[in-house]
Amino acid sequence: MGLCFASLALGIYISMKIFNIPDITTDGSYTLGGAVTAVMLTHGQPGYVILPVVILAGATAGALTGLIHTKLKINALLAGILVMTALYSVNLTIMGRSNLPLINLPSLFSIISLSGNSNNNAFIILVAFTAIVAFLIGYLLKTDFGIAMRATGNSESMIRALGVNTDKMKIIGLALANALTALSGYLISQYQGFADISMGIGVVITGLGSVIIAETLINWLRITSVWLSLTLVLVGAVLFQLVLAVTLSLGIDATYLKIITSLFVLLIVGLPRLTRRAA
């Protein structure tokens, strides 16, 4: 399950760490990914059509946030909230109702059979899927375009003086980030066997938590390599889910799950600062 969130974490990593934009669209585009997947599956669309549509849907949502943020000069947080809120209706319209079960429909995990055990099978597929996505993003960040992307969030005055349209770059970046988020929705809805209108609520925290775990590790180990950073983001995503799973297995009421999530993220964010002050 942690691996399902890996691409979400990569998306948040791109918007938050690379572009320095806190992007809340995530909650909506994640559900959008799930909703599109569910509806297309129930209508018997083949998998190779669903995947690009999901990516495109997520990218459109992200590009909208980007457009609102750059062209209308509206605070990124607010732009994200606006798009996220609007997406709620969009998602509900797409699904037609608040919950769509996908039991007995062919999913990514049932079509491809690499192992007799369905759990192992899902695991292998997810690892492969995540590896491909991470590889593509890693490669992108290494290219000249990728360097320009990283510089956009880092030193806007510099990169404009070097001939990059930063507005365009931010729109592309947010589109990419939300396409990745939608991909997470695509995976999780097939993995869990349903899409739900509220599946995206608070999911941005999951992504943030993963990225922050990764960031703490990156700072700790003084990592500058793009590949290692991306790997740590993936590790962060899995670690985050593990911690939640452990908390639940300790017998804590599931009602408290979200508050525990929040507290956990707070802990990771706060811990390095507290220890630094003590030192």
Partner 1 sequence: MIEINALTKTFNQGQPNEVKAINGINLQIANSEYVIIVGSNGSGKSTLLNLVAGSILPGSGTITIDGTDVSKLHDYQRSKWIARVFQNPLSGTAPDLSILDNFRLASLRTKPKGFGIGVNDGFKAAVKEKIALLNMGLENKTDQLMGTLSGGQRQALTLLMSVMDDCKILLLDEPSAALDPRSANVVMQTADRLIKDFNLTAILVTHNLKDAYTYGSRIIQMAEGAILHDLSSENKTVLTQNDLFSWFS
CB of 152 to partner 1, least distance (A): 9
Among 160, 193, 223, 227, contact with partner 1 (rule: CB under 8 A)? 160
Between 144 and 253, whose beta carbon lies closer to partner 1?
A: 144
Residue number, 163 or 251, with CB nearest to partner 1: 163
For the CB of residue 149, give the shortest distance to partner 1 in the complex, in Å.
9
> In angstroms, what is the minimal distance from the CB of 10 to partner 1?
18
Long-range contacts of 13-18, Cβ-Cβ distance < 8 Å, separation of 24 or more: 13/211, 13/214, 13/230, 13/233, 14/137, 14/173, 14/176, 14/177, 14/180, 15/173, 15/174, 15/177, 16/208, 16/211, 17/153, 17/211, 17/215, 18/141, 18/149, 18/150, 18/152, 18/153, 18/173
Least spacing, CB of residue 168 vs partner 1, in Å:
9
Our CB check for partner 1 shows the closer of 32 and 150 to be 150
Q: Which is closer to partner 1, CB of 135 or CB of 145?
A: 145
Query: Which of 110, 93, 122, 116 has its CA nearest to residue 35?
Result: 93
Burial environment of residue 188 by CB neighbours within 10 A (0 to 12, 13 to 18, 19 or more):
buried
Site for partner 1 in 130-159 (CB under 8 A): 139-140, 142-145, 147-148, 150-151, 154-155, 157-159
> How many Cα atoms sit within 13 Å of 52 on the Cβ side?
4
Choice from 31, 166, 189, 261 touching partner 1 (CB under 8 A): 166
- The residue among 117 and 224 lying less far from partner 1, judged by its C-beta, is 224
Q: Which two tokens stand for residue 122?
A: 């899902």
39 close to 90: Cβ distance less than 8 angstroms:
no
Question: Please, what is the minimum distance in Å from the beta carbon of residue 224 to partner 1?
Answer: 6
Which stretches of the chain bind partner 1, using CB under 8 A? Answer: 139-140, 142-145, 147-148, 150-151, 154-155, 157-166, 224
